Amino acid sequence: MDFGFTEKEKTLRRELQEFAKAELPPDWVIGGYAEEYCTDYKWQVTQQISKKLAERGWLTMAWPKEYGGLDATHTEYLLYREEATYNMLPGTDMGVGGVSWIGQSLILFGTEEQKKKHLPGIAAGETYWCTGYSETEAGSDLASLKLRAVKKGDEYIISGQKVWTSAAHRCSWCWLAVRTDPDAPKHKGISLFLVDLKTPGVTVKPLMNLAGLAENSEVFYDDAHVPADCLVGEENQGWRCIMTALAFERTAGAEHLGRSRRMVDDFVKYARETKRNGKPLSKDPLVRHKLAEFAIECEVGRLMCYSIAWMEDRGLIPGHESSMAKNFCSELGQRLSNAGLGIMGLYGQLGASLNAPIGGMAQTAYLFGVGDTLGGGTSEINRTIIATRGLGLPRG
């Protein structure tokens, strides 16, 4: 079996590397992995990059040509996402999931009118989206959500609250899960809507994360009137749409993988350039062994992610495989950033700054990495999927 890349794929990787060098400002690496929508400056750069990616056709390259894509293979799209993340390119997903799961799900479940209205804006790098799933009492047990939508004429009136909605304070539209039938079994009474966040009655309040940055938001819906044609698919049949979108989302192992590869390379560079007790850290056998282990784990994660893309290119539908890759890559990032802080010592605690080693990337990655095993399904939920669907074990 050939585990190498084709010439076309190698060319795409080189073009992405050159694009990042040419388009990103010199100070972009400060803070490293801080999310692109957390500060006004990063958000401004993000919007500029999105449009330039769109001009090259990269932004929605895996979409069908009729919707603004390039009909690229899943392998090419994965390579793009991995390389873009490694090079810290922002704006590749139009908010959180606009391209990778909201757009792709809309292609499958949306009406022609919905596709014509929303897909061109995403493909052009102009419309940003967030995902409204979690609530104060509905996280891992997502089907327990209570945000209520009641139909009245040609509208739905939505009331309730969402929380931990990533990038909601920057986005203009939300892929929103609501309960439309409170009397139905909890998986049956859920519907999905495309909601304009400028709708009267919708209030977005940013939340600070561990790094002291606005990453997520609370979103309140106080009798917000949403047109009935914003319903995706059939009423009360939204769970299928959610599960499909989550399957797309869990392929985000590519992003975790790209970050981890970059961290390993940056920590190796730091170890070579930094002396302790008169000799480079890279000569310390414990440091060398630890970094070598992580380099190997990155390759393991890469093979897991590319095996999923290989399946998709052959018309196969990955299930528990996506959960395996998501867990492995997100947990790898947490272990790696923790180890990096240990290697760097007190310097690793310095935040985003030109004076901090590797721009404060270690501290930022450590703080942001806490959420990586929560978004898209916690590690525990994914392990349940692996056990029941992959290994055929009974539910506990």
- Give the residue numbers marked as catalytic: 249
Distance, CA of 306 to CA of 204 (rounded, Å): 37
Say what the alpha-carbon torsion angle 14, 328, 171, 177 is, to the nearest 10 degrees. 140
Structure-block tokens of residue 299: 């390759």
Q: Which residue has the tokens 């690496």?
A: 29
Structure-block tokens of residue 56: 């090259």
**The pairing of beta strand 173-179 with beta strand 129-132:** parallel
Radius of gyration of the chain (CA): 21
Is there a contact between 34 and 46 (Cβ–Cβ < 8 Å)?
A: no
Tell me the residue length of the chain: 396
**Burial environment of residue 154 by CB neighbours within 10 A (0 to 12, 13 to 18, 19 or more):** exposed
The alpha-helical segments, DSSP class H, found in the chain are 7-23, 40-55, 74-86, 104-109, 112-123, 238-249, 253-273, 285-313, 320-344, 361-369, 379-385
For residue 194, CA distances in Å to 205, 230, 233 come to 19, 5, 11
Other CB atoms within a 10 A radius of the CB of residue 165 amount to 26
Q: Which residue has the tokens 């009137």?
A: 225
Identify the CA nearest to 375 among candidates 89, 106, 158, 163. 163
* Phi, psi for residue 242 in degrees, rounded to 5: -65, -45
* Sign, Cα dihedral of 164, 167, 170, 172: negative
Query: What is the b/e burial string over 350-387, where b = at least 16 CB atoms within 10 angstroms of the residue's CB?
Result: bbbeeebbbbbbbbbbbbbbebbbbbbbebebbbbbbb
